[in-house]
């Protein structure tokens, strides 16, 4: 014997639509039924319950007091079922995380590592937003942001990934063609590759800043080349067009592969660094927590060894 002594549930679905619209015609349109079919279902429900649920007027219908009580109960039940199904559907979907980072960070550091994250967390749907306009977590749909600075941002939880280390880089061919390039002052007689895109780049470190920090006050003799994209700067360096500034988190792997070399044994270390930032309590989300743990381990395993100048280990 059934636990619930109820009329067929599809009759309640039809009743709810009619009572909500106060119209057989509009309910029929919503349910993709004919008006006569809706009328028959309402009569069947009234006959089964032994109650009159609607007053049929000349051009309208009114819900009876009994019909209103039933409508309130049916609505609560359907709303509860709908909310439950929505929750079940959301939990069944893969959690989505949106990570914001600069174009250079996303392209050179994050992308080569994403396959490892996917292997560890195959159920997490990761979205990367590459932009040189800082986007704070909690703004829009950004969950995690990699920001450069002091680590002090109001309302954000921050964790240092690594500091900033900057050194000159060029292609092995360029260095072979310029054997006199050994010291920072020698860079004044080289073609320097500049990153310029309308605002301070990479923490404000440019060739002028780097040279001054090495005690070099002169002006470059040659005209440099200027680009508004760091990938273009590195592409020009690899092609042998000049000497670029290399940020260790980007160029260390390129040096290890031999695509670029460090011609001068000098490095600039800034006080600021790259921070992993989230809104407060975001780490309570399992997907976000998994990403934070993974990227922190990647940064720790990256290491930041000293850069050996090409001239110290290679000879013509």
Residue 95: predicted pLDDT: 73
Q: 3-state class of 176 per DSSP?
A: helix
**pTM for the predicted model, two decimal places:** 0.61
Q: How far is CA 120 from CA 69, 117, 140, 204, 303, in A?
A: 53, 5, 27, 36, 21
pLDDT of residue 307: 38
Tokens for 164?
């900033």
User: What confidence score (pLDDT) does residue 124 get?
Assistant: 87
Q: Kindly list the distances between the CA atom of residue 10 and the CA atoms of 7, 68, 78, 86, 249, in Å, as whole numbers in the listed order.
A: 9, 18, 12, 20, 62
The topology (CATH level 3) of 9-92 is Arc Repressor Mutant, subunit A (1.10.10)
| Predicted local distance difference test score (pLDDT) of residue 93 | 58
Q: What residue ranges of the chain have pLDDT lower than 70?
A: 1-2, 89-94, 197-203, 303-316
Rounded Cα gap, residues 182 and 108, in angstroms: 27
Closest CA to 266 of 303, 224, 308, 315: 308
In angstroms, what CA-CA distances link 163 with 44, 57, 241, 268?
75, 78, 28, 11
Token pair of 277, please?
């930032």
Which pLDDT belongs to residue 89? 63
The pair of three-digit structure tokens given for residue 254, joined into one six-digit string: 């390129």
Domain ranges across the chain: 9-92, 97-304
Give every CB contact of residue 153 below 8 A, 6+ residues apart in sequence. 136, 147, 277
CATH of domain 97-304: 3.40.190.290
């Amino acid at each position: 014997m059934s636990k619930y002594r109820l009329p067929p549930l599809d009759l309640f679905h039809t009743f709810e639509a009619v009572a909500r619209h106060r119209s057989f015609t509009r309910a029929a349109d919503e349910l993709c039924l004919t008006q006569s079919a809706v009328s028959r279902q309402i009569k069947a429900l009234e006959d089964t319950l032994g109650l009159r649920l609607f007053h049929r007027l000349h051009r309208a219908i009114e819900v009876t007091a009994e019909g209103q009580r039933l409508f309130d109960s049916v609505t609560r039940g359907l709303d509860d079922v709908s909310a439950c199904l929505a929750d079940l559907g959301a939990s069944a979907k893969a959690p989505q995380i949106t990570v914001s980072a600069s174009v250079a960070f996303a392209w050179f550091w994050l992308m080569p590592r994403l396959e490892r994250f996917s292997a560890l967390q195959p159920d997490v749907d990761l979205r990367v937003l590459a932009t040189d306009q800082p986007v704070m977590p909690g703004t829009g749909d950004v969950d995690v942001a990699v920001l450069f600075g002091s680590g002090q941002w109001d309302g954000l939880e921050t964790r240092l990934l690594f500091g900033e280390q900057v050194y000159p880089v060029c292609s092995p061919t360029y260095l072979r063609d310029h054997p006199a390039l050994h010291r920072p002052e020698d860079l004044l007689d080289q073609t320097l590759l500049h990153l310029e895109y309308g605002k301070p780049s990479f923490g404000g470190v440019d060739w002028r800043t780097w040279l001054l920090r090495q005690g070099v006050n002169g002006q470059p003799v040659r005209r440099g080349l200027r680009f508004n994209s760091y990938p273009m700067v590195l592409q020009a360096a690899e092609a042998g067009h000049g000497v670029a500034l290399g940020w260790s988190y980007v160029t260390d792997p390129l040096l290890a592969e031999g695509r670029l070399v460090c011609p001068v044994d000098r490095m600039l270390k800034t006080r600021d660094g790259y921070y992993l930032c989230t809104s407060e309590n975001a780490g309570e989300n399992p997907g976000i927590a998994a990403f934070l743990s993974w990227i922190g381990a990647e940064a720790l395993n990256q290491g930041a060894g000293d850069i050996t100048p090409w001239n110290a280990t290679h000879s013509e």
